[in-house]
Structure 1
Amino acid sequence: MVEKAKNKVAKDFNLVKKSSNQISEKKQDIKYDTRDYVVEYLVQKFKEDEFYIPLSYQRNFIWTEHDKCFFIESVLMGLPIPFMFFSDTSDGRIEIVDGAQRTQTLVEFIQNGLELSGLEILTDSNGFTFKELDPAIQRRFLNTNIRVVYLEQGTTEAIRQEIFRRINSGGVHIKPAEVRRGAFLGKFKDFLEECAENELFKKLAPRSEKTENRYEGFELAARFFAYSNAYPSFSKYKGNVAKFIDKYVESQNKAVESNPSIIQSCRNDFETMLKYAHKVLGDRGFRKTATAKSVPRARFEALSIGIYAALKENPQLPIVDVSSWIDGDEFYEVTSSDAANNKTKLIGRINFVKQKLLQGDS
């Protein structure tokens, strides 16, 4: 036993040494510094093919017009831009390891190929091309610093490809609810967090630890209020759920400042909906099955807002038997995930539940 223990210690020491050597070796393969390039210089070098995109492993140019305008708006506002990654190469040119879409967008904008649209903060600049901006703004834009992590000569192509892969797939994409909680601070946002902790809500719309860590309860509550407020016309809804809810939460934060009673009114609507839902749906709540650990968003929207709409039309709405349709093909069809955010489908599934409840369908 003593001999085995000694061998185990020796083996562990060798493994640690082997691990240490490998880390040191691979770390030596990556040498870099940071540099600042002004936009004008970066664009010029790209046009001269001195800064180039290695199409062998870069993604196709997939940014939408909205993505491009959102980025340009950030630059115009002077917001910090995430680091780009460039690398020296054997022929002396600079390879754009990560930052291709930002670079191409800058080129397109400066060459007047991009007309600003959909700007949410610099709204007075919608419809402008670069050359139509005030000359002083143009100069400031061209002199904006873009920070770059510059990989020094000797960084192999394999390492550059690995860096690109890790930058573009290694992280967990942030959820709209996470953005919303941080970006739209205010009393209504605080109220949504209160709703997410409502005990009856957690019982009827359970969330796993993983989804709740990404604020799924906050997201469901925000959808309930934004959609119930927009029902039945959804006149400002264009199919972009995150953008629609962001605007709603932002406007409610402002409205509550001058009219605090909005929160109590919303709280009453939320709690009334939950109590009725518990009576007709039982402990199963908004789940697809009694044992499900989570709730599909489309199903939650249909039931919660359908109940809300029915109660608005008939505050004395009787408790009805939903067993004939809650698990039926028709309800499944209207709450299926296919094109779930389409306006027609959204209104359709809400109206389905509303009419079933008002008709007392059994």
Structure 2
Amino acid sequence: MNDLTSEKLKSIENQIDEQKKSVAFDMREPTIELYVNKYLKDIDKDDNEIFVPDYQREFVWDIKHQSRFIESLFLGLPVPFIFTAEIKETGRLEIVDGSQRIRTMAAYLNDELELKFLEKLTQLNNTKFSQLSSARQRMFKNIAIRMVVLSADASEEVRKEMFDRINTSSVPLLPMETRRGVYRGSFTDFIVDLAKSARFKALCPVTKYFENRREEEELLLRFFAFSDCYPNYNQVESKGVAKYLDSYLEKKNTDFTDQERSDKTKAFNMMVDFITRTYPNQGFAKKPGTRGISKPYFEGIAVGSYLALKEKQNIAAIIPDSLIVDKENRSDFYKSIEGRYKTHTSQKIFSRINIVKEAFLNGTK
């Protein structure tokens, strides 16, 4: 190969220097107590200093995963850094990577998490934080975890790029990508075909990380699964969302009939038509003109509107005030989709879906 010219080498160096400026960062070592305090203070007003962005609002760790993370902290094992980005306009820190860890620590300190399935610290199984000695509580709260803080000068594009790179560095498969290879059958093919619909894609402004990664198929699987088991979501909570969706998809692949294909196609079209008319510049994003789909929000709007349409087809294509997501007005719907902790308890799933259903049926502004 020919050597690069001096001009080319200079342009390479200039570009590296210029791009490095946009990802300037500093390192900090907050304690667990500080992380939790900054995450929980003013969270009800959506003004907490360390916050979870919309595209990460779903809490997906199960009890075993949460417990093992807490066990690692007690054992002093190395844990991944927390990545955040400073927002210039507010001074708040957006969690780029680490939202499941911070929420788990908050849940543990708040006694919302009872440890289970521990293999090393077995004496901690079936215990909560408040049951520990005061000395051990202090020592746990004083554990430091490194945090990388991206400069406030970084644009939203750079923050999303950082998130993409962190989460795709090992190219982990998303659940629906895995299901495509494991659960093959007529129902899987049906969902894949529906997800190609241009009308449905237009309602799903996904973030860059989820582009071309079967996200529309994941959303449709949730739509059908949560519609079918309404109003009882105990199985979803007991199995966990991912395992419940796996079992639902596996079963449907074995007993999917032509009549059900017809019924579900009608359900899909009915829902998509209504959302297109009602949310023309928003789709399943929480606010007009934004990108990113909150799965709890999608479940509430998609399933709730469909269930309402089943009872009353001539629903007005008007967004009820009670369904507008506004941090200044923490409505019941807002509380049912917020991502503080355990976004998929049976009560929360039923609540968000039923709130949407009743709001559209009542035609309330």
Equivalent-residue separation in structure 2 for 1:346 and 1:272 (angstroms): 21
Determine which of 309, 324, 337 is the counterpart of 1:335: 337
Q: Cα gap change, 1:291/1:317 in structure 2, threshold over 3 Å: closer, same or farther?
A: closer
Q: 2:204·2:283 contact (CA, 8 Å) conserved in 1?
A: yes
Equivalent-residue separation in structure 2 for 1:217 and 1:225 (angstroms): 13
Q: Does 1:279 align with 2:266?
A: no
Q: Letter of the aligned partner of 1:352 in structure 2?
A: I
Structure 1's consecutive aligned runs of 4 or more residues displaced over 4 angstroms after TM superposition are 4-9, 56-60
| Match runs of 1:1-362 below 5 Å | 171-237=170-236, 238=238, 240-256=240-256, 259-323=257-321, 325-328=323-326, 329-330=330-331, 331-338=333-340, 339-362=342-365
Q: Letter of the aligned partner of 2:310 in structure 1?
A: K
Q: Letter of the aligned partner of 1:349 in structure 2?
A: R
Deviation at 1:206, TM superposition (A): 1.8
TM-score normalized with structure 1 length:
0.51
Equivalent-residue separation in structure 2 for 1:337 and 1:6 (angstroms): 52
Q: 2:234·2:346 contact (CA, 8 Å) conserved in 1?
A: no
Deviation at 1:312, TM superposition (A): 1.8
Q: 2:296·2:337 contact (CA, 8 Å) conserved in 1?
A: yes
Equivalent-residue separation in structure 1 for 2:5 and 2:274 (angstroms): 66
Higher relative contact order (Cα pairs below 8 Å, separated by 6+ residues):
2
Residue correspondences, number: 206
Q: Cα gap change, 1:304/1:310 in structure 2, threshold over 3 Å: closer, same or farther?
A: same
Q: 1:203·1:283 contact (CA, 8 Å) conserved in 2?
A: no
Equivalent-residue separation in structure 1 for 2:5 and 2:336 (angstroms): 65
Q: Cα gap change, 1:57/1:320 in structure 2, threshold over 3 Å: closer, same or farther?
A: closer
Deviation at 1:323, TM superposition (A): 4.2
Q: 2:304·2:356 contact (CA, 8 Å) conserved in 1?
A: yes
Q: 1:280·1:322 contact (CA, 8 Å) conserved in 2?
A: no
Deviation at 1:170, TM superposition (A): 6.3
2:127 corresponds to: none
Structure 1 gap segments, 5+ residues each: 10-55, 61-104, 106-168
Q: 1:239·1:342 contact (CA, 8 Å) conserved in 2?
A: no
Q: Cα gap change, 1:199/1:58 in structure 2, threshold over 3 Å: closer, same or farther?
A: same
Q: Cα gap change, 1:58/1:197 in structure 2, threshold over 3 Å: closer, same or farther?
A: same
Deviation at 1:5, TM superposition (A): 5.7
Deviation at 1:247, TM superposition (A): 0.7
* Backbone CA RMSD of aligned residues: 3.1
Q: 2:281·2:289 contact (CA, 8 Å) conserved in 1?
A: no
Q: Cα gap change, 1:181/1:361 in structure 2, threshold over 3 Å: closer, same or farther?
A: same
Q: Letter of the aligned partner of 2:242 in structure 1?
A: A
Q: Cα gap change, 1:260/1:322 in structure 2, threshold over 3 Å: closer, same or farther?
A: same
Q: 1:206·1:293 contact (CA, 8 Å) conserved in 2?
A: yes
Q: C-alpha offsets along residues 153-186 of structure 1, whole Å, 9 cap, x if unaligned? A: xxxxxxxxxxxxxxxx962332211111110011
Instruction: Look at both structures and tell me which one has the larger radius of gyration over its CA atoms.
Output: 1
Q: 1:239·1:343 contact (CA, 8 Å) conserved in 2?
A: no
Q: Letter of the aligned partner of 1:334 in structure 2?
A: S
Deviation at 1:208, TM superposition (A): 3.5
Q: 1:192·1:222 contact (CA, 8 Å) conserved in 2?
A: yes
Deviation at 1:8, TM superposition (A): 9.3
Equivalent-residue separation in structure 2 for 1:213 and 1:206 (angstroms): 12
SS at match of 1:283: coil
Q: 2:204·2:285 contact (CA, 8 Å) conserved in 1?
A: yes
Equivalent-residue separation in structure 2 for 1:228 and 1:309 (angstroms): 8
Q: 2:187·2:253 contact (CA, 8 Å) conserved in 1?
A: yes
Q: C-alpha offsets along residues 75-121 of structure 1, whole Å, 9 cap, x if unaligned? A: xxxxxxxxxxxxxxxxxxxxxxxxxxxxxx9xxxxxxxxxxxxxxxx
Q: C-alpha offsets along residues 189-243 of structure 1, whole Å, 9 cap, x if unaligned? A: 0111112111111111122343033211111111111111111112432250110
Q: Letter of the aligned partner of 1:241 in structure 2?
A: V
Q: Letter of the aligned partner of 2:264 in structure 1?
A: C
Q: Letter of the aligned partner of 1:347 in structure 2?
A: F
Q: 1:301·1:350 contact (CA, 8 Å) conserved in 2?
A: yes
Q: 2:323·2:356 contact (CA, 8 Å) conserved in 1?
A: no
Q: Cα gap change, 1:170/1:299 in structure 2, threshold over 3 Å: closer, same or farther?
A: closer
Q: Cα gap change, 1:319/1:57 in structure 2, threshold over 3 Å: closer, same or farther?
A: closer
Q: Letter of the aligned partner of 2:194 in structure 1?
A: C
